[in-house]
Amino acid sequence: ILNVEQSPQSLHVQEGDSTNFTCSFPSSNFYALHWYRWETAKSPEALFVMTLNGDEKKKGRISATLNTKEGYSYLYIKGSQPEDSATYLCAFPHSGGGADGLTFGKGTHLIIQP
């Protein structure tokens, strides 16, 4: 059973502040690490798929880093805006082989306060 842990469970951030949160995953048999954003009343939407140790990806004010040797990834949001309020999920391939579905963490619920 894969263990994908996310912390913190929830986070309140003032508008304009930067923030980050963590995803921990098994470091053995690494294949890929996914980040998704899930807004209330919508469906999860992919942000990044990361495959290489040391990888850093960026999409606007959101970026992510990956450390496969120690089994963690950080998601950073710079200058938080109210529209960033969402649950951020990370996911790891189910069996480590990459093509067998994803095991999701329970997410970090981010609330941006105006």
Instruction: Report the distance separating Cα 39 and Cα 42, nearest Å.
Output: 5
| Residues in 39-68 that interact with another protein by CB under 8 A | 42-46, 49
Determine the interface stretch with another protein among 57-65, 68-76, 77-85, 99-107 (rule: CB under 8 A): 99-107
**Residue 61, φ and ψ in degrees, nearest 5:** -90, 0
Q: Minimal distance in Å, beta carbon 43 to another protein? A: 4
Residue 96 as a binder of another protein (CB under 8 A): the answer is no
Binding site for another protein (CB under 8 A): 31-32, 34, 36, 42-46, 49, 89, 91, 93-95, 98-107
